[in-house]
Amino acid sequence: MEDFQVRQLDRKGYEILELLGTGATSEVFCVSEKKTGFRYACKISRQTGLLELEAELMHCMRHPVYPKEKDFWIGQGYAFLVMEYIEGSSLKEYLEAQGKLCFGETMRIMLALTEGLAYLQEQSPWMVYKDLKPANIMIARTGEVRLLDLGAAGVKSGWRIGTPGYSAPELLRKKDAASCASDVYSLGILMYRMLTGKIPSPGHGGMRNLHRVRMYRWDVPFGIKLILERCVRQKPGERIPDARTLYFLLSDYYEAGCLGLLGLELRAFFHRKWNKQLIFEKNIYKKRS
């Protein structure tokens, strides 16, 4: 860190404790507020416009999955964003230590993420997260799932954003191609990674060996395999359309319990043609709401 950055933080009443991580355009530090002793995360970047957009988004977010913004300013060509500090480990570190997760823990994380992304997609105007990956997901010491780095969501057009392996193919090929289905693709890849410990190989339908989820994981219901297949289709129009629909589909399995799973498995068997099934599901949930 440069001396003038230390001085900027000192003037605002913060003391640097440690470096938390670095990215392509920013660095994140753990800082302490001198007046209260409370810890915060401070993101510093030369991309002042992008970080200002992220600060504005964080200020508007009213969902527990997103950290709260505390302070923002620009000084000497750098932007400083002070936000809630989350004690815990990133999902990337969690997976590197555990290899893969049990079905119940995977579903708990997926439901928290899909609900949080549904909230983002339902804003006016709607937004897409665009860069979902394990490094951007925190598992707090309390067990809560938190989603960091809203920077990509604030980018409107003219940028290619994403992480190969997790981002939808249209985001890596084209500009201005983001949709709610782009986040659904990343959610599908993320769920596969948590269940198997691997990132799937590209192939027909987006996953060449998706059947291995079922082969090696006896605890993964057949319906989850169908949901995965639908999440990672190459064409956005063939995927589950948005995070809210995916949340409803996943919550059926999570809440049903052992006896309920039998009925859900049978329902999945009799609705193999997903176009008909999605219409069926969406009509049900419209009536519920």
Domains contained in the chain, CATH given? 3-84 (3.30.200.20), 88-288 (1.10.510.10)
The pLDDT value recorded for residue 206 is 47
- DSSP state string for 118-150: HHHHTSSS--------GGGEEEETTS-EEE---
At residue 243, what is the residue type?
A
Q: Tens digit of pLDDT for each residue in 190-227?
A: 999 999 998 876 554 445 556 566 657 777 887 888 88
Among candidate residues 3, 10, 71, 131, the one labeled active-site is 131
The pLDDT value recorded for residue 175 is 63
Annotation says 131 is catalytic = yes
**Spatial contact of 100 and 202, defined as CB atoms under 8 Å apart:** no
Q: Tens digit of pLDDT for each residue in 128-165?
A: 898 899 999 999 999 999 999 887 776 665 455 678 88
Considering the entire predicted model, what is its pTM?
0.83
